[in-house]
Amino acid sequence: MRALILVADGFEDLSLYLPWYRLREEGVDVTLASPLMHALTGRHGYVVEPDCPIYAVNPDEFDLLLIPDGAAPEKLRLREEAVDVVRTFAQDGRMVAAMGHGPQVLISAGILDGRTLTCSPGIRDDVRMAGAVYRDESTILDGNLLTGRSPDELPEYCLRLIAMMKACEAVGVR
């Protein structure tokens, strides 16, 4: 199993590191992709080096897409290559997980119409305007889409992320 994490400067450190390490514990090969190939600094000062630029990503090589919280999703949604990757994952029915402000990239990809999700309260109106049903809950799983409200919900989010991944793997869904 392979996972792709889209990341940019201003990522919420916990919502990147905790799922990233949790996936690695499960034996998942994780790749960090960013618009630019330079060291990225999180909201709390942690630094991460991306593995590859987003434009070089082939979505067919991955089973799961993860978008952390923070200011990074606002930067990612302005990059067409990031939006295209998200759209491809959704169109192919692959697993997508987004935390906090992560659904901003999903909005830009135009994939939320009719979906039920949670997100940071600051973007709930944007989610509704994109045609989604917003619920003020810690995590929501809607088919192949997992969303989390905030880093406070990371323990439940990671449990559901691993459960979603194993369920899809069991039935042969990427």
How far apart CA 116 and CA 150 sit, in angstroms, is 16
CATH number at 113 reads 3.40.50.880
Q: Which of 109, 35, 99 shows the shortest CA–CA distance to 69?
A: 99
The tokens for 155 are: 């323990």
Strands (E), 56-151: 64-67, 95-99, 116-117, 133-134, 139-142, 145-148
Distance CA 129, CA 74 (A): 17
Q: How far apart are CA 56 and CA 77, in angstroms?
A: 17
Q: How many domains does the chain have?
A: 1
Identify whether 101 is a catalytic site residue.
Answer: yes
Token pair listed for 92: 């192919």
**pLDDT score, position 169:** 74
Q: Give the domain extent around 60.
A: 2-170
Tally of CB atoms within 10 A around 171: 6
* Catalytic residue chosen out of the listed positions 77, 79, 101, 149: 101
pLDDT value at residue 168: 75
Residue 174 has pLDDT above 80, yes or no: no
Please determine, for residue 163, whether its predicted confidence score (pLDDT) is greater than 80. yes
Tell if the pTM clears 0.75, that is, is over it: yes
**Band of the pLDDT at 13, cuts 50, 70, 90?**
very high
**pLDDT tens string 105-157:** 999 999 999 999 999 999 999 999 999 999 999 999 999 999 999 999 999 99
Residue written as token pair 């169109």 = 91
